[in-house]
Chain A
Amino acid sequence: MSVRTAMPNLLARVPGVAIALIVLCTVFGLVSARFATPTNIANILVQSTILLLLALPMTLIIMTEGLDLSIGAVLTFASIILAVIVIATGSFALALSAALAAGLCFGLANGVLISVLGIPPFITTLGTLGIAQGLSLLVTDGQSVVGIPRSIESIYSGRLAGIPLPILIAALAYAVTHILLYHTRFGTYIFALGGNREALKIAGISVRGMLIGVYLFGGLMAGFAALLMTARLNSAHPTAGVGMEFDAIAAVAVGGTSFERGNGWLFGTLLGVLAVGVLRNGLNLLAVPSSAQVASIGALVIVALFIDGLRSEP
């Protein structure tokens, strides 16, 4: 965990995801005249904010050798709670607290099932994915929730000092996660949890508490992402967040965080989020259907994991 061992790792990784990003940008810049315009680039940045909010906690979760497949469905459920409550009561503060609470509840459930009951993370979150999806359908009866006050929309479209609000929110989230991971004891333990769980236990640290904390963080960020999503769509839809967890996992994998050894790199995740954002935006400009975009991101993940596998060869 010392600087000396971290530096070569960092240098070895910079090329991978950064080159992917540069290649994608160059190709789309050459192929489409609309790609390299200031408006479009601002667009990519703003559109990537929701994904970043999910990918940040996903990085921490994957570093603990875990996975959260439920995060997209939890985002959807929180977004529906937000919309329903703001329409019913008119109180934004109440609605946001309820959405965050919904996210935290799922985070707590994931954390407890994984750490206390010992159920593997991917199957736990596959189960809670089903539960969150079912709840979303039940609350809305499969319909969109519309009629949200205009003021919420301005959270996505508004600006502060010329900078779009979503970017400020995402930058704040990045800063908080960075401090949490690199400058607190909690973060140090996360590195240790993926790399050497036994050592942590012997040192008397509560691994259960740590895991619950990491998944709670995931639920909380899903709640904030739900705020941006609702503001962006100006409505809540029971299938709005379907597959978002896949983009988030893709961004983390492309960003060079390893699935098996607790090796994480937060800045890589940021670049990975941008790579996924650029890929989607570029394919959109070329009028490639969103179904083919999903397939191409799937291919991107397999390639990234393949390279990850090659790196781990002794």
Chain B
Amino acid sequence: MNDDAMNKNTKGDVDIAVRSRLAFSSNAMQALYRLLAATLLCAVLASLSDVFLTENNILNVLRQTALLFLMASGLTLVILTAGLDLSVGANIALSACLSASVMKATGSASLGVATGIGCGTFIGLANGVLVTALRIPSFIATYGVMWMLTGLTYFYMGGETIHGFPPAFRQLGSGYLLGIPMPVYVMVLFLAIGTFFAQRTIWGQQVYAIGANPVAARLSGVPVHSRLVLVYTVSGAMAGLASLIILARINSAEGDIGENLTLPAIAAVLVGGTSLFGGSGTVMGTLIGALILTLVLNGMNLLQINASWQPLVTGVIVLVAVWISTLTRQSGE
């Protein structure tokens, strides 16, 4: 009987592996289309603005892309399981504020880093428990958590601003290595880890399987609940990490530090080709999505378009991206 169960398991894993390899080639084509779009955007912006191709602006775009990618990378895993994490921005706010006050109180950069990542991870874990153990739909659970965190952050800060952090810590956001901003290295590191995890490990394959068909995944022996808790925890941890990079970059923390970050992060994932319905997409795609979104917002800045257009444009981009994925899903069925 044990043998039987094992046979079933291996067979399930092989199926998943074959399916993901097939999915991978179409993913590569999709990535190519998106890179073409990004290149086209660059060409348009370069022709419209003299500032676009200056060294300063390119470094700026890279830094922004890195930050957006870090916020969106954990979220990608959540969306791969057909879930959603609306608490990313609020998580960043609380993690950044707690980390800032710890650093201010102790003067220790490493304690601050531990606090930020620890806080983010804990919030992610809480989300995971709400979604799995309490069986609350993910968008409503993380929406409730988002407001709780926002309230807590404002309450904790009481309108105060914390600024001035140790120079060693500030390197994380505003430092350079070989002329390239530090956040870009962090981005490359987590792109490698994320891609390896999603494409080359059993756990990663199980994440895809849960998103594609949770019932089938459960029947073929995937521990659905613990994998879900894992992806929400990773999403929280990445938000904690992103909060540190923001903190190190702007060198101050306020209650509203995470405002208007969630929608762009979701947009980056969706523009990057990850389906809101779960089961298809890549971490690499999210990087391209983050690049495209950053280029759009950067271009609007350079062309001196009123910043009030940004939430509007981001909202439209989200809707169009989901619409396209709905269309491809329907034609696939």
Interface string of B126-165 (1 = CB under 8 A from A): 0000100011110111011111111111110010000000
Best-surrounded residue of A122, A124, A127, A141 (most CB of chain B within 10 A): A127
A207 within 8 A of B: no
Determine the chain A residues whose CB is within 8 A of the CB of B84 once the complex forms: 122-123
> Which of B86, B151, B309 is the one whose CB lies under 8 Å from A292?
B151
User: By the criterion CB–CB under 8 Å, are B312 and A134 in contact?
Assistant: yes
B302 within 8 A of A: no
Determine the chain B residues whose CB is within 8 A of the CB of A296 once the complex forms: 151
Kindly state the separation between the CA atoms of A243 and B145 in the bound complex, as whole angstroms: 13
B106 within 8 A of A: no
Kindly state the separation between the CA atoms of A246 and B146 in the bound complex, as whole angstroms: 10
User: By the criterion CB–CB under 8 Å, are A289 and B276 in contact?
Assistant: no
User: By the criterion CB–CB under 8 Å, are B150 and A294 in contact?
Assistant: yes
A171 within 8 A of B: no
A309 within 8 A of B: yes
User: By the criterion CB–CB under 8 Å, are B147 and A306 in contact?
Assistant: no
User: By the criterion CB–CB under 8 Å, are B147 and A134 in contact?
Assistant: no
> Which of A117, A137, A289 is the one whose CB lies under 8 Å from B308?
A137
Complex interface residues of chain A between 100 and 154 (CB less than 8 A to chain B): 113, 117-120, 122-124, 126-131, 133-135, 137-138, 141-142
A298 within 8 A of B: yes
B266 within 8 A of A: yes
User: By the criterion CB–CB under 8 Å, are B316 and A294 in contact?
Assistant: no
B310 within 8 A of A: yes
User: By the criterion CB–CB under 8 Å, are B315 and A134 in contact?
Assistant: yes
Kindly state the separation between the CA atoms of A301 and B311 in the bound complex, as whole angstroms: 27
User: By the criterion CB–CB under 8 Å, are B316 and A305 in contact?
Assistant: no
Q: Which of B34-42, B212-220, B322-330 contacts the other chain? A: B322-330
User: By the criterion CB–CB under 8 Å, are A246 and B147 in contact?
Assistant: yes
User: By the criterion CB–CB under 8 Å, are A120 and B263 in contact?
Assistant: no
A91 within 8 A of B: no
Complex interface residues of chain B between 78 and 92 (CB less than 8 A to chain A): 84, 86
Known: A126-B263, A131-B312, A134-B310. A295 touches B318 (CB 8 A): no
Kindly state the separation between the CA atoms of A120 and B146 in the bound complex, as whole angstroms: 20
Would you call the interface of chain B mostly helix, strand, loop, or mixed?
Answer: helix
User: By the criterion CB–CB under 8 Å, are A127 and B315 in contact?
Assistant: yes
User: By the criterion CB–CB under 8 Å, are B151 and A291 in contact?
Assistant: yes
User: By the criterion CB–CB under 8 Å, are A130 and B323 in contact?
Assistant: no
User: By the criterion CB–CB under 8 Å, are B144 and A305 in contact?
Assistant: yes
Q: How far is the CB of A239 from chain B (nearest CB, A)?
A: 11
User: By the criterion CB–CB under 8 Å, are A119 and B326 in contact?
Assistant: yes
- Name which residue of chain A comes closest to B146, CB basis: A298
B314 within 8 A of A: yes
User: By the criterion CB–CB under 8 Å, are A130 and B148 in contact?
Assistant: no
Kindly state the separation between the CA atoms of A137 and B306 in the bound complex, as whole angstroms: 10
Determine the chain B residues whose CB is within 8 A of the CB of A122 once the complex forms: 84, 139-140, 143
- Name which residue of chain A comes closest to B147, CB basis: A298
User: By the criterion CB–CB under 8 Å, are B151 and A123 in contact?
Assistant: no
Determine the chain A residues whose CB is within 8 A of the CB of B146 once the complex forms: 298
Q: How far is the CB of B293 from chain A (nearest CB, A)?
A: 13
Kindly state the separation between the CA atoms of A118 and B153 in the bound complex, as whole angstroms: 36
User: By the criterion CB–CB under 8 Å, are A127 and B151 in contact?
Assistant: no
Kindly state the separation between the CA atoms of A293 and B149 in the bound complex, as whole angstroms: 12
User: By the criterion CB–CB under 8 Å, are A127 and B313 in contact?
Assistant: no
Kindly state the separation between the CA atoms of A123 and B141 in the bound complex, as whole angstroms: 15
20 interchain pairs, CB-CB under 8 A:
A113-B323, A122-B84, A123-B318, A126-B86, A131-B312, A134-B310, A134-B312, A137-B311, A249-B140, A259-B137, A259-B140, A291-B154, A293-B151, A295-B147, A295-B149, A295-B151, A295-B155, A296-B151, A305-B141, A312-B135
